[in-house]
Structure 1
Amino acid sequence: TSLGASAFDTPSPAQAELAAPLAATVLDTLSPADMLGVQSIASSYFVSGGSTVKAAGANFVHFGLEWDDLAPTDIEPAAYDWTAYDAEMDLAASLGYEIMITLGHNPLWAASFRRGPVDCVPLSRFTDYVSAVVTRYSASPYNVKYWALYNEPDVVGFTRTWTDCSGDTWAYGFGDDDVEYNGLNGPEHYVAHLQAAYNTIKGIDSNAVVMNGGVAYDNFASEGGYFNEDFLDQIFTAGAGNYMDAMNFHFYPQHAPRWETLTGLPGIMGKTQAIRDIMTTHGLEKPFVCTELGESSGYGGTDPRSEDTQAVAVVKQFTRAIAAGNLIGIWYNMNDYPGDLAFGEHGLLDYPSFSAKLSLDAFETLATIWPGFEFMRVMDSTELGATDLEGYLFWDTSGGEALYILWSADGSGQTITLPPGVTSVVDKFNDPVTYGATLGIDEQPVLITSSLFSLYLPLIMR
């Protein structure tokens, strides 16, 4: 299926003049405690729960600021109604959040698909929207520095029962690589939009961090899903690396076996490495940001999921994310919400009470313990005394303390001999764990602090 003619006429990224990306120095200042963030999908939700999550230690909040919300009809930026977005942005700024915004979600008067090319009006209408949002929210008191373009842009299109603004029934997505429109396929169109947004944002704030929209990079269309398996390779071939300061992706544990098999690394570490390998083939090296990671506390068919297993996932996913080199991790979602069987129980807060779930307590444990520590390395089997334990070493460079985060990789019970100088052992809720010369380890994470630390000697022995 091909798209009809439109007013959209953008040169190929290969033909366009390449912008010189500025160093994203703001990313260099982030520590483990800084990386913790949450996604909020509705202004009313954030107003109800944003202060609770901030009090638990969240640094980032991620919002989608959608073009079709600001312009449901064909209007210019001067006529935008900012009321709903100002409510959450004002609160986030007053609470001291670092705010991250994903732009996109086309209105259907401008494009055939919300996550596809702007093909019914000139691309300048899109950059007018980007300019209006960035001008408003990069300024005080919001001071937004982090911008991404289109959520999960690797999505493929589908056939609809109604015609769109171009007179077609095919919803043409950025992930569609087998359909060409105006000489470009979907991934090439995405790079053209990314380039336009990058240059617009940097023209307003040269120190902004501009990222690709978080790619799903899972649940592939070739396997009956919704996403283009070759999207990353295709956008990097088309020059996307010139218009992104960081690599942005999503991770959910139900897809972990694919990446563990491919790389031999657990969970989000495997997916990060798989993407890094693709980037390496294109000569790219970028910081990593994960704008969706999470786990359900309820839905999962016969899986034994609960608030407790979700709390375990909070510690494991954020710890592995840091170990893999991710500088920011955004938990999806801040709160549970109705009507979504797959993701409605991923929240750190209950709905509609917006009271804390056990997962928020685990989130707060990391936010409480991590300040002052830097990640050092994944512990090897020599240090751990076994291959069936996972261990992650953090170091307080100012005070010389060590922090070990440990759990059993296969869920079996293990006994370790503690290193010298242990000052505390706590569980995922920051509650004290009784210990002696040895300590039992199972699938529940423990956090061990020691005042004696050597970088080069085995730290924990059976």
Structure 2
Amino acid sequence: MQNIQKILVLILILVIGVSAIPGAAQDQEDEFQLYLPILMRNYPHHPIFGVEITKNGFMDEAAAAGNHWVRYNGLLWSEVQPVEEPIFNWNSTLEADLITASEAGMEVILVVRSTPTWTQKYNGYFCGPPADLNAFASFMSNVVKRYSSPPFNVKYYEIWNEPDVDPYEHYTSITSQYGCWGNAKDAYYGGGYYAEMLKVVYPAMKAANPSVNVVLGGLLLDCDPRSFGDGYCPTEERTKAPKFFEGILKNEGGAFFDVVSFHGYPTFQKDVNPIQSEINYSAWSAAGGVVVGKLDFIKELMSQYGINKPIFHTEGALLLPNDGSSSTDEFERAKANYLPWLYARNWSEGILATNWYTLNGPGWRQSALLAADQSPREAYTAFSLMTEKLGKAEFVSYTILGVVLPEPNYDPNEIHRFEFKTNDMRIWLLFGTKDNNSRIIAVPSKFIQAYDIVGSPVNPVGESITFDRPIYIEMDK
């Protein structure tokens, strides 16, 4: 990873100052086009497509869908080493899944969490940090030695899940899979202690295998702490928790991890385009929404502290409201429509891995790609088609077609276009983002075919194509 970063820095120097190049209008008169430097295009090639698995036995379904990244949650320290002596009860079921993933060519992000009772900093809380950091470093050294080599080949280790939560102020149960390293009495919410852990654990992991990557526990970042009020944290008090990441950097933890990880989900709203639900998410709307806003915040902090790390979006999906709602056909259609937007937009933003939460069903608030009986939902079909068409593609550009007008006005034909290329064709992925109405686009030159996100053909009528959900258009190069 460090060698790759050096190469990318050299590439960035070559492209500095060339971030926006006007392109010739080809198929639409009014265009706004953003070209991104090579650094932002997943180079060297690693497909962005990932899922999270929270139960054993779903690696075959992930592989069948063309998946690349598997976030596996997780390896529980409290179960593997329940007593202080170095006696390890390795989980054979987990190990079978890791072997299956490796044999299928998938890259595992292994979440390690759950502090054993003999070293809990917050007594009784498995989700909280260890008191003995050297003991955790020794454990992680053993984990890396065991799992980073064949037949497991795990190279990414995520230290806890959503650690930016205070166990005494949040909904977290003592055995929750959510982390609880937070400290509401600290100005940086306990991030400094997480940095202390990294300073001890990171060298031990690298000594065990220098090629492994240490991933920050996926940050919850429940609101934008750069202000409070509309579009930010609702109150000044709430700005404290999202400062956990800054606490890590302020305590010089930036040199002791390889990848930043964060989470971000929009919530389904009836009759609302799910892309709007993401952009207008109240606690992050001032910065572009619950995904782009968090990404902007992370990048801003890294720049402030003089570091530049790859970023993973390790939990994302479309959720039902937190009111016990049951899944509906409208929700499942919206979820399938949102899925390709999440991956394509994240790809265009330079996020290197995106994991849908979850593969196994029914998922948190019905978010999963599989149903409760583990049959495929429409979103699973959309994911499988996207990996088939774009799994070996290169991202080219992100373009807004149509007249771009300030809010609340907009061109009803405004279309967001992501362009990709393969060895033998160009592929457009098109979205209407403002509403769920139909869009019309002229048939492009060298047109081959068009189809929607689940593979249904979309045939031109005359010289135009009409669509009411995201579509792919294939063209000869």
TM-score bracket, normalised by the shorter chain, equals 0.7 to 0.9
Give the structure 1 partner of residue 194 of structure 2: 190
- 1:235 and 1:359 mapped to 2: Cα distance? 36
Contact between 2:99 and 2:152, CA under 8 Å: does it hold in 1? yes
Q: Determine the C-alpha separation between the residues in 2 that align with 1:226 and 1:269.
A: 18
Segment of structure 1 superposing worse, 145-154 or 288-297:
288-297
Q: 1:118 maps to which residue?
A: 130
Q: How many Å apart are 1:291 and its aligned residue?
A: 0.8
- % identical aligned pairs: 22
**2: CA distance, partners of 1:67 / 1:246:** 21
Change (3 A) 1:136 1:24: farther
Q: Is the counterpart of residue 215 in structure 1 residue 219 in structure 2?
A: yes
TM-score, with structure 2 as normaliser = 0.76
Residues 1:277 and 2:297 are matched in the alignment: no
Q: Does 1:78 align with 2:94?
A: no
1:201 pairs with 2:205: yes
1:392 equivalent in structure 2: 417
Q: Does 1:317 align with 2:342?
A: yes
Specify whether residues 205 and 28 from structure 1 end up closer, same or farther in structure 2 by C-alpha distance, changes over 3 A only: farther
Partner in structure 2 of residue 7 of structure 1: none
Task: Provide the C-alpha distance between the structure 1 equivalents of 2:3 and 2:112, rounded to a whole number of angstroms.
Answer: 21
Q: Which amino acid aligns with 2:251?
A: A
Given candidates 132, 138, 160, the residue that maps to 2:148 is 138
1:39-54 matches, cutoff 5 A? 39-43=52-56, 47=57, 49-54=58-63
1:1-400 matches, within 5 Å, as 22-23=2-3, 28-31=43-46, 34-43=47-56, 47=57, 49-63=58-72, 64-71=74-81, 73-111=82-120, 112=122, 113-119=125-131, 122-158=132-168, 173-176=180-183, 178-179=185-186, 186-218=190-222, 228-254=241-267, 256=279, 257-258=281-282, 261-263=285-287, 265=288, 268-296=291-319, 306-337=331-362, 343-351=364-372, 353-381=373-401, 389-396=414-421, 398-399=423-424
Letter in 2 for 1:89: L
**Distance between the aligned counterparts of 2:207 and 2:419, measured in 1?**
38
Describe the superposition over 1:406-459 as per-residue Cα deviations: whole angstroms up to 9, x where unpaired: 1111123332223211111110102211114112243x111112225xxxxxxx
What amino acid does structure 1 have at the position aligned with 2:77?
Answer: W
Residues 316-360 of structure 1: per-residue CA shift (max 9 Å, x gap): 2111211221111111111124xx8xx152211122x32211111
CA distance in 2, matches of 1:317, 1:414: 20
CA distance in 2, matches of 1:450, 1:190: 49
Distance 1:269 1:65, change over 3 A: same
CA RMSD of aligned residues (A): 3.2
Q: Distance in 2 between matches of 1:157 and 1:41?
A: 22
Which residue of 2 is the match for residue 168 of structure 1? none
1:179 is displaced (CA, Å) by 4.2
Deviation at 1:195, TM superposition (A): 2.3
Give 2:428's match in structure 1, choosing from 382, 385, 404: 404
Which amino acid counterpart does residue 350 of structure 2 have in structure 1?
Answer: G
Q: Is this contact kept in 1: 2:189–2:241, CA < 8 A? A: no
Unaligned runs of 5+ in 2: 8-41, 225-232, 268-277
What secondary structure, in the 3-state scheme, does the structure 1 residue paired with 2:366 have?
coil
Deviations 1:383-417 (A, max 9, x none): 99975534233332643x32211111112333222
TM-score w.r.t. length of structure 1: 0.78
